Chain A
Amino acid sequence: MSASVLIVAEHDGGKLNPSTAKCVSCARALAGAQLTVVVCAADAAGVAAQAAQLAGVSRVLTLENPANAHALAAVLAPQIVAIAAPYTHLLGPSTTFGKDLMARIAGLLDAPQVSDIMAIDSPTRFRRPIYAGNAILTVDSEGAAQVVGTVRTASFEAAGGGGAAPVEKANANVTLPTHTRFVSVSAAKTDRPDLQTAARVISGGRALGSAEGFKILYSLADKIGAAVGASRAAVDAGYAPNEMQVGQTGKIIAPELYMAVGISGAIQHLTGIKDARTIVAINKDGEAPIFEVADFGLVGDLFQIIPQIEQLL
């Protein structure tokens, strides 16, 4: 039996999140699979049109409901479950959106979930990191009628464009709960690239010393078009907001260039960056573990080195 995959699109109401294109790439490892993307929104047309262009997608479904204006797992899950019957695999990104939602879907379907899929070896065989990436586990779902998965986005390139899949309206005749209500979301407005998709990322650690200290990173980042991240220690110390955290409990990223500035390289941080193409470490402690994984290491005072780099560009 060939696989039939339902991918739950992540979006902000207007723009499809690149994590969805990575789920499509992951799903394409299932040879011959039909790939359907479902867009849950109050008004899905714009996002659905973007999803329809992803190479490899055979169909886009929309689930429109005013209650879908904000992505509440308790509201979205029953709608997706209502249309889930034809699919062998249900995938979403391993972002806070997907992790929150897909496990609720798995619970309703009584299906096993494979979290953080980094590779699909066969329709039942998946690889995933455990113990903060210190081990890779291969699991097999043989015997389960349906499998739910979250896709580790750093492990996959985004699917390209050029597709023209048909967009169809789907109906989920279910009563939606009102017990969960969206109140607000606050995010620092930034003109810098998105941390999770940026080709270049500069991250700072506790050695930056203060929120003020991070300014030299923002300045260099703006010069080279990079996103700015932070270690958990820097976020805990209040030097940077939580959405900038890179690592096992923050964002897991795979940029072309990652510059770790004043970051010692705790395991939980390394887990978040190990798929980066090139890692640069700048730290005054030459023994710091970050140098074990760095392609280029520079021992010295970051407060001198960072402005020097900026001047040299």
Chain B
Amino acid sequence: MKRILVGIKRVVDYNVRVRVKPDGSGVITDGVKMSVNPFDEIALEEALRIRERGGADEVIVATVGPADCQQQLRTALAMGADRALHVQADGVVEPLVAARALLKLIEREQPLLVILGKQAIDDDNGQTGQVLAALWNRPQATYASKLELTGETARVTREVDAGLETLEVDLPAVITTDLRLNEPRYVKLPDIMKAKKKPLDTLTLAALGVEQRQQLKLVRFEPPPQRQKGIRVKDAAELVDALKKKGLL
């Protein structure tokens, strides 16, 4: 059985304007729309396309987090994942803990490929894929914008600062997705109904033998400094004058 494991995270929806709580203890999440992290949707879409082309038999979606995360697993099942694994964990799940939990799932499921988003849009850590690849002692190809499977290897085009880099990696491997890898499909209503019948297994960190450990204490959340509101100029000449006065042109 050729399997692909996709990791997803429940995050504040990308359209929500996030605000810091007045006491600095966190950001306001009460009553805020939650979604699948957008980069993880891209990861799932890529896995589904590989399965649809015959490159894999089964797509498993997994998350590590509190009970609410099951909503996002159901969304992933509605998108087309075959089954879901929920590793129950409360509190802050640091990348090392998430990666250790995913590694336990890898040992059980023996996937040929693990695809994750390059970062979650809440904590913006961008670590879990690389940490997982390190712990698993397997290749990583981060920031993928193109992925081709050829038997025992994958050819991955990566979006790097210099341009596009192509790597060849032996399978199994960890891939993290960038924006331009694909455009995720929309979920249709009948698929949401069907997803309710798909298997969703719940596990715990303890049952997997993973310690819930927080190494970075969250001390304080603050709003970012605001820029001073500037001035309007009426035409190109006034703009050029203003910039010359500041020594910028």
Interface residues of A (CB under 8 A from B): 12, 72-74, 77, 95-97, 99-101, 103-108, 110-116, 125, 129-144, 177, 179-188, 196, 200, 224, 232, 235-236, 241-243, 249, 251, 256-257, 267, 274, 278-280, 291-300, 305, 308-309, 312-313
Contacts and interface: CB of A to CB of B under 8 A. Distances in A.
A125 B219 contact: yes
Contacts of B169: 179-181
B223 interface: yes
28 contacts: A100-B130, A103-B134, A104-B133, A105-B134, A107-B99, A107-B131, A110-B96, A112-B216, A113-B95, A130-B122, A137-B219, A140-B216, A140-B219, A177-B137, A179-B139, A179-B170, A180-B169, A183-B168, A186-B165, A242-B164, A256-B248, A295-B227, A296-B239, A297-B233, A305-B239, A308-B236, A309-B239, A309-B240
Contacts of A141: 215-217
B159 A131 contact: no
A101 B19 CA distance: 32
B121 A112 contact: no
B227 A293 contact: yes
A186 B124 contact: no
Given A107-B135, A200-B248, A236-B180, A295 B230 contact: yes
B108 interface: no
Nearest to A282: B239
Interface of B: 12, 17-20, 27, 94-96, 99, 121-127, 129-135, 137-143, 145, 155, 158-170, 173, 178-180, 215-224, 227-237, 239-240, 242-243, 246, 248-249
Nearest to A242: B159
Closest 10 pairs (CB-CB, A-B): A107-B134, A187-B163, A103-B130, A107-B131, A308-B236, A112-B215, A295-B230, A103-B127, A183-B166, A179-B170
A139 B240 contact: no
A81 to B, nearest CB: 9
A251 B162 CA distance: 11
Given A106-B95, A257-B243, 18 more contacts: A103-B131, A103-B134, A132-B121, A134-B19, A136-B223, A185-B162, A185-B163, A235-B180, A251-B161, A257-B248, A274-B224, A278-B248, A296-B231, A296-B233, A296-B243, A297-B230, A298-B236, A309-B239
B239 A181 contact: no
A251 B249 CA distance: 23
Contacts of B130: 73, 99-101, 103-104, 106-107
